[in-house]
Amino acid sequence: MIPTPDLRHLTAQDYDRVYEPAEDTFLLLDALEADQHDLKRLRPLISLEIGSGSGCVSAFIAKILGPSVRTSRPTHFSPSLTSSTVYLCTDINPHACRCTHSTGHHNAAPLDPINTSLAGPLARRLHRAVDVVLFNPPYVPTVPDEADDAQQARGIAGAWAGGVDGMGVTDQFLERVGELMSDRGRFYLVAVPENDVPGIRERMLRVHGLQSEIVLSRRAGREHLFVLRFVRAQGASQTN
């Protein structure tokens, strides 16, 4: 069993401003643990977490993958060269970026937080380069104004306020994630029934050529949580 990252450096004051890992976070950790052998085989060069919050999820995948992997990619360097996985993390909340950085430091995980919305300015440089994409989004349905205000304020409400069907932020990312994923890339997304999980899956396959599986689902109090894993569908046309 892979230990949950050490978060003892984060305080109650941090959790006033940044999402405290909860059942959704832990379901995502469990999904990654269930996939750990595939993830190691994948030998990712770039992992990108959107909305890293405390940094718990990226620190966990760094534990799975270890500090460095041997590159299997064609390279003009020596084939025996070792190559570290890069753990890019974005969050719209600046304090979340500080927490992600300190969580990386306390867990010997080289996390690189960037304070931006979604993939922000990285998107062009990361075109079809990301091997693992992770997103536990603000998925709670709210009125649109609440989600817009939360995105503007870049504070704790941005951790949950999701707008109509809880999909205001997630939909923006789903439009672009295919452009980020490498050919062998995989994308893990947390969702709840209000987000219309079958609808997300059908649309991602039809519009973006990404097929999906439900890796894990769990009831947690009043919430029913899902982790979806997307990969490129066999023979999907390269439209991105």
Ligand X SMILES: C[S@@+](CC[C@H](N)C(=O)[O-])C[C@H]1O[C@@H](n2cnc3c(N)ncnc32)[C@H](O)[C@@H]1O
Contact segment (CB under 6 A) with ligand X among 75-83, 136-144, 178-186, 201-209 equals 136-144
**How is residue 109 written in tokens?**
């995980």
The dihedral sign for the CA sequence 219, 96, 57, 50 = positive
Binding-site size, ligand X (CB under 6 A): 25
Reading the block at residue 158, the tokens are 């941005």
d(CA 221, CA 228): 20
Q: Which two tokens stand for residue 202?
A: 């059908």
39 or 96: CB nearest ligand X: 96
138 versus 178: smaller Cβ distance to ligand X: 138
* CB nearer to ligand X: pick between 42 and 50: 50
Binding span for ligand X by CB under 6 A among 51-59, 77-85, 193-201, 210-218: 51-59
* Contact window for ligand X (CB under 6 A) among 5-13, 64-72, 84-92, 212-220: 84-92
Q: Which of 52, 85, 103, 170 binds ligand X (CB under 6 A)?
A: 52
| Sign, CA torsion 103/104/109/112 | positive
Q: Which is nearer to ligand X, 53 or 178 (CB)?
A: 53
Residues 77, 91: Cα–Cα separation, whole Å:
34
DSSP assignment letter at 69:
E
User: What is the dihedral sign for C-alpha 35, 36, 38, 39?
Assistant: positive
Closer Cβ to ligand X, 200 or 209, answer by number: 200
Residues 199 and 117: their CA atoms lie apart, in Å, by: 24
CB-nearer residue toward ligand X: 44 or 138 = 138
| CB contact at 8 A, 227 and 216 | yes
* Position 117 contacts ligand X (CB under 6 A): yes
Closest separation in Å from C-beta 71 to ligand X: 27
Q: What is the DSSP string of 206-234?
A: HHH-EEEEEEEEEEETTEEEEEEEEEEPT
Q: Do strands 69-70 and 82-83 pair parallel, antiparallel, or not at all (unpaired)?
A: antiparallel
* Closest CB to ligand X among residues 43, 110: 110
Q: Which of 158, 163, 168, 178 binds ligand X (CB under 6 A)?
A: 158
Out of 47, 93, 107, 195, name the contact with ligand X by CB under 6 A.
93
Note whether 90 binds ligand X by CB under 6 A. Answer: yes
Binding flag, residue 50, ligand X (CB under 6 A): yes
Task: List residues binding ligand X (CB under 6 A).
Answer: 19, 21, 25, 28, 50-54, 56-57, 90-93, 96, 117-118, 136-138, 151, 158-159, 169
